[in-house]
Amino acid sequence: MEETWIDGTLFAFDGRVVEAFGFPGEGDLRYHIRNLKLTVDEPDAKGRRCIHLRPWSTGAGSMSMHVSPEAWPAAQPFLEHVAAAIAQTRASAAAA
C-alpha cells in the first residue's frame, strides 16, 4: 500500500484502487484504475499543478485540486505510479 499526503488530502493506492481521504467538499473518494482518467496540468504562474481524477464512466465522483510546489515532490512519484498502473491495465486489456 502506498500512501502520501498532498496538500491536506491523504491519498492511498494498493495497485488497483486509488483513494482520496478528506477531500474538501467531497469527503472520501475511491477510483478503480480500470475506470480512472488521471491528468496532471503543467505548473501555473505560481508553480501549482492541477490534478484531475475522473471516472471514465458517467457519474459523480470527479475531483480536481491544485498541488502546491512544496507538495509536488511527494505527489509526483505517487501520481506517476498510479499513471503507470493505469497504462499497464489498458495495455493488458488491449492485448486480450
Question: Do the Cβ atoms of 1 and 78 come closer than 8 Å?
Answer: no
Amino acid 56: pLDDT: 85
d(CA 4, CA 44): 22
Query: How is residue 36 written as a grid cell?
Result: 480512472
Amino acid 59: pLDDT: 67
Q: Would the pTM count as exceeding 0.95?
A: no
**Which architecture, in CATH terms, is 2-95?**
Roll (2.30)
Q: For the chain, what are the domain ranges?
A: 2-95
Amino acid 51: pLDDT: 96
| List of the chain residues with pLDDT < 50 | none
Amino acid 60: pLDDT: 66
Amino acid 27: pLDDT: 77
